[in-house]
Chains A and B, each alone.
Chain A
């Protein structure tokens, strides 16, 4: 339950959240899940094992160095990146603010500091501030147009802003400068969005090969391969990839979550719930907690499910307080779970303006449809599928809207279920019923 304690610790400084937390977290902790049994040694191993080394002691060393040489750009740059690595390791978003402060200091010393500029771009991506990330990426490019990483920042931002041709060109350029795990993975994602699953798997296999020797990055590529298999009807391949990831990097939360998704797809809901609880215990990301709630609900543990769901708004508040914009994620969760639909639609609209990507189109279309505005939802849903992405969730939404408008949903439902027979514990049964009709 390390993750939850951590939320509590972070939240303590956020006066607004304190009262809410006390109420939510205590019952959460009392509900003993398999996560409770995890020895702290395993958790310690997780924190140590990241390829950047022992980030905690690296941070301490850099802080000491900065006390002696407060004007060391290199130490400031490295510390700024180390804080971001720490955020990834712990899911504690307060590291974002620390990274920001340190990298701003580095830029104060040298406004053409490449690492600080790109690092701030990466930070903006983490906070889902994609316009800001794009501006920083373009600044970094002016400083060094021949550094591959700057095209990663630019392309990631363009992608989330819905500028797909530009994003794909950025990724192509990045890979042409330097084929490595970072650029292969981005090309893979682009192919996945274009519905080219085989090509995506090929590129991610190259990423995996180029990541050998860097355990965390390597495990990450196996998780991505697993997810590609999972959403193309090969859940048992997905399990094998997640297993490889866990062998490389024990207790890796991405892999625990991925394995839980794969077990869900295979119908092994109990073991899925156990795995997701482990992932949540490591890092309480809202989407993990959401799936855990769904798994509890699906296995008849309604009260436990409700406890999980109740955590989500608290986590969201923490993220928001640290500059992270998550409106689309909140909207999707709320729409899926029937929570305050008019407000969810508002959030989806707001989220869309920040992130006009196919995800934005999809969440907005889904929110419109569940608010009874299927006519307005249709063009949104079509836009969400304009790249021909083979995503069961988006296909299901398209089918649902078709049915709502009196049309035939069956081809969409069939495709969604073929890609992943349990793409959602709530909505896959709806699709199945729709098909049987």
Chain B
């Protein structure tokens, strides 16, 4: 659920069409005058908010696949004393579907604990436990692991790179894990998107956009999984999604065991923001990919196509109905060309074909598959894949032969990603921040 950036894409352009889509603003509700309890009605719950999911064959370690899921949008490095941490009352989930049925075959559940003297003293380090569920069997594969602290500044968190390196751990199933604050690797010209779709210069293919996420941080959970754990050895395609759960409570509780309710999920980028209508968002977030058939209608008639038609009629007409091409890219994988098809089950997952070798650095095409680079989105998703440009083009009809050089003019992240695990760059510190003059001193 990338509300901050991508929600705006639709929210802003919806104005043109006069249709209701996302509402991210509004804030807590009500009641200046009241003696009744004025609880908030709408909540953003940033610590439960999945922003982006990535999955790729590790370029420096091709016997493994890397999964990175990010939470907490828009972390402002200078926002002390309210520093950012994972929620200690939520559960963070990463799922792998190895047989294409939309159900998890392997699940990693991560739960965080605050350490004593958590806030106000700037101690943002947390400990966490990883539980793996496979074939209905639950095993603790990591316990008492530590996140690095947030990057506060050279006095509180000196030599951040080495602090962060201590945050890399090995789980008992052979998976490597990192959890903690990182630079937000997502890049998009949010300002321009707000100003009616993303295009500052011509059709946006010539650069010149501004990365409005530059300088902001997120919290990442990164897993480097030995391929052998997730490779089905027939079509070699693994489907990945991540989610967040919170504990259900009832008025007349009792001390029942914890019941988890999923409040956020994420497979392919943009689905909840661009495709799912307002009245279905809570429900969609609570469901799992195996249930996605019921949402297929929204994939077939994407609102963004109608928006493009309205804004750039000179490049149209854009296909607006019966978009089976989008259904196959997003819900089944591509069979033609043979890429990551997993069968007839419709399920929103990031599908990664583990048998496709990683593209060497320097030859990576940010447009992924539509740019001729089969190791990129929608075959999994790499940090460098430009999903805004890819999605605009695909929705405009790229796969149906309606090729247009659309884009937001921001082609890469503001800082280079790392060449090895966890790949996501170190976060800006509160000290050497800021977003406006993004310079960076510590690595």
B-binding residues in A (CB < 8 A)? 50-53, 55, 58, 65, 69, 71-75, 77-78, 81-82, 84-85, 87-88, 90-93, 95, 109-110, 113-115, 118-119, 122-123, 125-128, 143-144, 146-149, 152-153, 156, 159-160, 168, 171-172, 175-182, 184-187, 189-191, 194, 199, 202-203, 206, 209-217, 220, 247-248, 283, 285-287, 319, 324, 326, 328-329, 359
Q: Across the interface, do B33 and A126 meet the contact criterion of CB distance under 8 Å?
A: yes
From the candidates B33, B251, B280, name the one contacting A171 in the complex (CB within 8 A).
B251
Q: Across the interface, do A115 and B25 meet the contact criterion of CB distance under 8 Å?
A: no
Q: Across the interface, do B247 and A93 meet the contact criterion of CB distance under 8 Å?
A: no
Q: Across the interface, do B16 and A69 meet the contact criterion of CB distance under 8 Å?
A: yes
Residues of B within 8 A of A187 (CB): 249-251
Q: How far is the CA of A113 from the CA of B30 in the complex (A)?
A: 19
Residues of B within 8 A of A326 (CB): 33, 35
Q: Closest Cβ of chain A: how far from B279's Cβ, in Å?
A: 3
Residues of B within 8 A of A186 (CB): 39
Q: Across the interface, do A77 and B20 meet the contact criterion of CB distance under 8 Å?
A: yes
8 more A-B residue pairs beyond the given contacts A319-B33, A359-B35, with a C-beta to C-beta distance below 8 A: A82-B25, A85-B28, A85-B29, A114-B279, A203-B249, A212-B46, A216-B28, A220-B40
- Of A65, A77, A181, A359, the most chain B CB neighbours within 10 A belong to A181
Q: Across the interface, do A78 and B26 meet the contact criterion of CB distance under 8 Å?
A: yes
Q: Which of B81-89, B402-410, B434-442 contacts A (4 or more CB under 8 A)?
A: B81-89
Residues of B within 8 A of A172 (CB): 250-251
From the candidates B36, B89, B285, name the one contacting A210 in the complex (CB within 8 A).
B89
Residues of B within 8 A of A248 (CB): 82
From the candidates A146, A160, A286, name the one contacting B36 in the complex (CB within 8 A).
A160
The answer to whether the Cβ of B312 comes within 8 Å of any Cβ in the partner chain is no
Q: Across the interface, do B82 and A74 meet the contact criterion of CB distance under 8 Å?
A: no
- Of B18, B39, B46, B82, the most chain A CB neighbours within 10 A belong to B39
* A359 to chain B: closest residue by CB: B35
Q: How far is the CA of A135 from the CA of B44 in the complex (A)?
A: 26
The 7 closest A-B pairs by CB, nearest first: A52-B27, A144-B279, A146-B283, A213-B46, A81-B26, A179-B246, A185-B39
A-B contact pairs, 18 of them (CB 8 A): A52-B27, A73-B18, A74-B21, A77-B20, A78-B25, A81-B27, A87-B32, A91-B33, A125-B31, A149-B41, A177-B283, A182-B43, A210-B87, A211-B45, A212-B85, A213-B72, A214-B28, A248-B82
Q: Closest Cβ of chain B: how far from A135's Cβ, in Å?
A: 17
Q: Is the interface of B mostly helix, strand, loop or mixed?
A: loop
Q: Across the interface, do A73 and B25 meet the contact criterion of CB distance under 8 Å?
A: no
Q: Closest Cβ of chain B: how far from A119's Cβ, in Å?
A: 8
Total residues of chain B contacting the partner, CB 8 A: 61
Q: Across the interface, do A72 and B18 meet the contact criterion of CB distance under 8 Å?
A: yes
Residues of B within 8 A of A175 (CB): 248-250, 261
Q: How far is the CA of A92 from the CA of B120 in the complex (A)?
A: 34
Q: Across the interface, do A75 and B37 meet the contact criterion of CB distance under 8 Å?
A: no
Q: Across the interface, do A58 and B34 meet the contact criterion of CB distance under 8 Å?
A: no
- Of A91, A93, A143, A156, the most chain B CB neighbours within 10 A belong to A156
Q: Quick one: given A122-B29, A184-B249, are A189 and B286 in contact (CB under 8 Å)?
A: no
* A74 to chain B: closest residue by CB: B14
From the candidates B16, B23, B246, B280, name the one contacting A77 in the complex (CB within 8 A).
B23
Mask, B43-77, CB within 8 Å of A = 1, is 11111100000000000000000000000100000
From the candidates A73, A152, A220, name the one contacting B20 in the complex (CB within 8 A).
A73
The answer to whether the Cβ of B19 comes within 8 Å of any Cβ in the partner chain is yes
Residues of A within 8 A of B27 (CB): 50-53, 55, 81, 85, 216-217
From the candidates B25, B35, B42, name the one contacting A53 in the complex (CB within 8 A).
B25
Q: How far is the CA of A84 from the CA of B42 in the complex (A)?
A: 13
* B84 to chain A: closest residue by CB: A213
List CB contacts (< 8 Å) of B80-107 with chain A.
Answer: 81-82, 84-85, 87-90
* A185 to chain B: closest residue by CB: B39
Q: Across the interface, do B32 and A92 meet the contact criterion of CB distance under 8 Å?
A: yes
Q: Quick one: given A180-B246, A182-B42, A189-B37, are A88 and B32 in contact (CB under 8 Å)?
A: yes
Q: How far is the CA of A323 from the CA of B16 in the complex (A)?
A: 34
Residues of A within 8 A of B45 (CB): 180-181, 210-211, 213-214
The answer to whether the Cβ of B11 comes within 8 Å of any Cβ in the partner chain is yes
Residues of B within 8 A of A177 (CB): 261, 282-283, 286
Q: Quick one: given A88-B32, A181-B40, A187-B251, are A214 and B46 in contact (CB under 8 Å)?
A: yes
Q: Quick one: given A73-B18, A81-B25, A185-B40, are A176 and B248 in contact (CB under 8 Å)?
A: yes
Q: How far is the CA of A139 from the CA of B170 in the complex (A)?
A: 52
Q: Across the interface, do B32 and A93 meet the contact criterion of CB distance under 8 Å?
A: yes
Residues of B within 8 A of A88 (CB): 28-32, 38
* B88 to chain A: closest residue by CB: A209
Q: Closest Cβ of chain A: how far from B45's Cβ, in Å?
A: 5
Q: How far is the CA of A206 from the CA of B250 in the complex (A)?
A: 12
Residues of B within 8 A of A113 (CB): 20
- Of A114, A179, A210, the most chain B CB neighbours within 10 A belong to A179
Q: Across the interface, do B279 and A146 meet the contact criterion of CB distance under 8 Å?
A: yes
Residues of B within 8 A of A77 (CB): 20, 23
The answer to whether the Cβ of B263 comes within 8 Å of any Cβ in the partner chain is yes
* A170 to chain B: closest residue by CB: B251
Q: How far is the CA of A416 from the CA of B173 in the complex (A)?
A: 58
Residues of A within 8 A of B246 (CB): 179-180, 206, 210
Q: How far is the CA of A114 from the CA of B20 in the complex (A)?
A: 9
Q: How far is the CA of A376 from the CA of B225 in the complex (A)?
A: 73
The answer to whether the Cβ of B257 comes within 8 Å of any Cβ in the partner chain is no
Residues of A within 8 A of B37 (CB): 156, 185, 189
Q: Across the interface, do A182 and B40 meet the contact criterion of CB distance under 8 Å?
A: yes
Q: How far is the CA of A179 from the CA of B260 in the complex (A)?
A: 9
Q: Quick one: given A213-B72, A216-B27, are A182 and B33 in contact (CB under 8 Å)?
A: no
